[in-house]
């Protein structure tokens, strides 16, 4: 598994440097920044011997650019079940995976996983979370649930590295590519339209589908099979429309 760490609009260069250091601690090296703060001497100092990770980091102005080529997108959030509105609980399946559950799901998977970490003050917004195939939240004390950006990153990196090291040789499974999953979502949206699915339900249904596909850990062959099923259904619908 290739882990791409994506920091979305980080506010403090010290945190960016600390994340780079934690990445190197656990064997990760691909750092991507979206509209970051200026990285100055303090950020370099906090990176310590991981300055190479920090210096090789790529910067983009949009999340879409940062996610290009990723096969799976994992978003981090501190939201809890009782804080979410009822319709969000139904469609987003809150609570999310814990850091350990996420690591077990990704263990032995081949592909590029983008891990999104949000702003220090407000995290990832709803639109950004909607781009994610899975959501992860670190279990913390209710007395003080909010973690520092670099601390939460270190917990996630540890769990991911630990699970990867425990995976026996030969257990790797190639994940469906991001392009195939995007095509599957696109064709599903077309199927909803062609079956007169209630328009006001489309967005949430597609978001639910995205999370289902993300948790399913589809292989490329499985995703292609689903595409074939949808193609067959759309063809049958088109044939019936022509006979009318």
CATH number at 29 reads 3.40.1280.10
Residues 6+ apart with CB under 8 A from 131: 63, 64, 67, 73, 75, 116
Using the predicted structure, report yes or no on whether residue 79 has a pLDDT greater than 90: no
Q: What is the pLDDT of residues 86-105, one digit of tens each?
A: 555 545 555 589 999 999 99
Among 25-29, 85-89, 117-121, 129-133, the range scoring the smallest mean pLDDT is: 85-89
In whole angstroms, what is the distance from residue 219 CA to residue 133 CA? 15
State what percent of residues in the chain have pLDDT above 70. 91
204 and 102 inside one domain: no
Q: Structure tokens of 111?
A: 């592909």
Range of the domain at 181: 176-243
Q: What is the pLDDT of residues 139-193, one digit of tens each?
A: 999 888 889 999 999 999 999 999 888 775 556 788 899 999 999 999 999 999 9
Residue after which a domain boundary falls, among 156, 173, 190 = 173
pLDDT value of position 172: 75
164 and 187 inside one domain: no
182 and 94 inside one domain: no
Q: What is the pLDDT of residues 183-216, one digit of tens each?
A: 999 999 999 999 999 999 999 899 989 989 988 8
136 and 224 inside one domain: no
Q: 115 and 132 in contact (C-beta within 8 Å)? A: no
Type and span of the H or E element at 109: strand 109-110
In whole angstroms, what is the distance from residue 234 CA to residue 244 CA? 16
Exposure string (b/e) for 95-122, b if CB count within 10 Å is 16 or more? bbbebbebbebbbbbebbbbbbbbbbee
Residues 6+ apart with CB under 8 A from 2: 30, 111, 112, 113
163 and 186 inside one domain: no
User: How far is it between the farthest Cα atoms of the chain?
Assistant: 71
Mean pLDDT over 115-128 rounds to: 93
pLDDT value of position 85: 52
Name residue 31's beta-bridge partners. 5
Q: 113 and 158 in contact (C-beta within 8 Å)? A: no
How far is residue 220 from each of residues 13, 94, 181, measured CA to CA in Å?
39, 27, 9
72 and 32 inside one domain: yes
70 and 158 inside one domain: yes
101 and 126 inside one domain: yes
Higher pLDDT, 3 or 84: 3
């Amino acid at each position: 598994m290739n882990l791409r760490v994506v920091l979305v609009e980080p506010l403090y260069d010290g945190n960016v440097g600390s994340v780079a250091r934690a990445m190197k601690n656990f064997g990760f090296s691909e750092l991507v920044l979206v509209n970051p703060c200026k990285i100055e001497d303090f950020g370099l100092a906090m990176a310590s011997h991981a300055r190479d990770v920090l210096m090789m980091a790529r910067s983009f102005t949009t999340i879409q650019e940062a996610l290009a080529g990723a096969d799976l997108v994992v978003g981090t959030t501190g939201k809890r079940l009782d804080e979410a509105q009822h319709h969000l609980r139904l469609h987003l399946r809150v609570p999310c995976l814990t850091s350990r559950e996420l690591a077990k799901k990704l263990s032995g998977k081949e592909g590029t996983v983008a891990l999104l970490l949000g702003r220090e003050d407000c995290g990832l917004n709803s639109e950004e979370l909607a781009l994610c195939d899975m959501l992860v939240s670190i279990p913390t004390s209710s007395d003080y649930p909010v973690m520092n950006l670099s601390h939460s990153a270190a917990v996630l990196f540890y769990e991911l590295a630990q699970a990867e090291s425990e995976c026996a040789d030969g257990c790797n499974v190639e994940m469906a590519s991001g392009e195939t999953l995007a095509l599957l979502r696109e064709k599903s949206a077309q199927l909803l339209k062609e079956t007169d699915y209630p328009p006001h339900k489309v967005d949430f249904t597609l978001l639910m589908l995205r999370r289902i596909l993300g948790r399913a850990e589809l292989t490329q062959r499985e995703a292609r099979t689903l595409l074939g099923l949808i193609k067959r259904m759309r063809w049958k619908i088109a044939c019936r429309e022509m006979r009318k």
